[in-house]
């Protein structure tokens, strides 16, 4: 008999604890329903700066904007550790609206779909606006990144894209229809060539567009 009474006491204590927990959970749920979501705090506008720096303000894509994306490179990345080899995928995405805006994104993932999704998200966060004059760039620009060395030269209307590989993809997505390029570096790394091309387009100054504007061809 004493053993039975002890068991009954334990069951009663467990039931009381469950009732207390249920009451606390119901109170918390009621409080969540009553609480209204707080408005986001306004943040000061940041201007200029390097990506990831203190004053860097990335340009994001507005809703409803039409952008076209291209998979520039897809590579397997292997990291060797004490536990063995870790295989991942790295994707490079170029995104543009063919109207002076271009973005480059890099993403890594356990599979191809995850890597492409991350790279697309990164490209949308880092959109660059390029000044386009007469479907070309205002003046000649040159940039280096690692072993990559890219030279971009403006061309008159009707000349077309005299470029190949990475530079051609970036210029076509940016809306540049008349341009010539030359790869002065000896590397064939698509990522380095893409970053060098983006850096060259960043050098174009909006204020100096009129000074270096291309005059239309005479008939």
The Cα–Cα gap between 126 and 94 comes to 11
The Cα–Cα gap between 141 and 152 comes to 5
* SS3 (DSSP) at 74: strand
pLDDT for residue 172 is more than 80 = yes
* SS3 (DSSP) at 113: helix
- Is this model's pTM higher than 0.75 or not? no
Q: What is the mean pLDDT of the chain?
A: 77
Write down the pLDDT at residue 26.
Answer: 67
Write down the pLDDT at residue 132.
Answer: 83
Adjacency order of strands within the sheet including 84-96: 68-81, 84-96, 101-109, 127-129
Confidence of residue 105 (pLDDT cuts 50, 70, 90): very high
- The secondary element (H helix, E strand) that includes residue 128 is strand 127-129
- Over range 48-62, report the average pLDDT: 48
The Cα–Cα gap between 175 and 134 comes to 11
- Residue 136 has φ and ψ, to the nearest 5°, of -150, 180
* 209 and 138 Cβ atoms separated by less than 8 Å: yes
Q: Which of 2-6, 19-23, 64-68, 167-171 has the lowest mean pLDDT?
A: 2-6
pLDDT tens for each residue of 116-138: 999 999 999 989 888 887 888 88
The Cα–Cα gap between 157 and 143 comes to 24
pLDDT tens for each residue of 134-151: 888 888 899 999 899 999
- Over range 91-113, report the average pLDDT: 91
The Cα–Cα gap between 161 and 137 comes to 12
Can you give the C-alpha Rg of the chain in angstroms?
28
The Cα–Cα gap between 212 and 141 comes to 12
* 196 and 149 Cβ atoms separated by less than 8 Å: yes
Which one of 3.10.20.30, 3.30.230.10, 3.30.300.30, 3.40.50.740 gives the CATH number of domain 68-202? 3.30.230.10
């Amino acid at each position: 008999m004493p053993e039975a009474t002890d068991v009954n006491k334990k069951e009663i204590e467990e039931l009381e604890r469950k009732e207390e927990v249920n009451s606390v959970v119901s109170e918390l749920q009621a409080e969540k329903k009553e609480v209204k979501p707080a408005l986001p705090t306004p943040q000061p506008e940041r201007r200029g700066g390097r990506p990831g720096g203190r004053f860097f303000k990335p340009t994001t894509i507005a809703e409803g904007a039409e952008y076209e994306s291209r998979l520039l490179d897809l590579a397997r990345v292997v990291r060797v550790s004490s536990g063995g080899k870790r295989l991942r995928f790295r994707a490079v995405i170029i995104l543009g609206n063919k109207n002076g805006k271009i973005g480059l994104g890099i993403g890594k993932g356990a599979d191809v779909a995850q890597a492409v999704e991350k790279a697309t998200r990164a490209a949308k966060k880092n959109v660059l606006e390029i000044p386009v004059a007469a479907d070309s760039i205002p003046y000649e620009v040159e940039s280096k990144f690692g072993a990559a060395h890219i030279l971009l030269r403006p061309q008159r209307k009707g000349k077309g894209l005299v470029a190949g590989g990475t530079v051609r993809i970036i210029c076509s997505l940016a809306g540049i229809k008349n341009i010539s390029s030359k790869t002065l570096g000896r590397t064939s790394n698509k990522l380095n060539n893409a970053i060098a091309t983006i850096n060259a387009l960043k050098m174009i100054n909006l204020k100096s567009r009129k000074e270096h504007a291309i005059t239309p061809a005479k008939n």
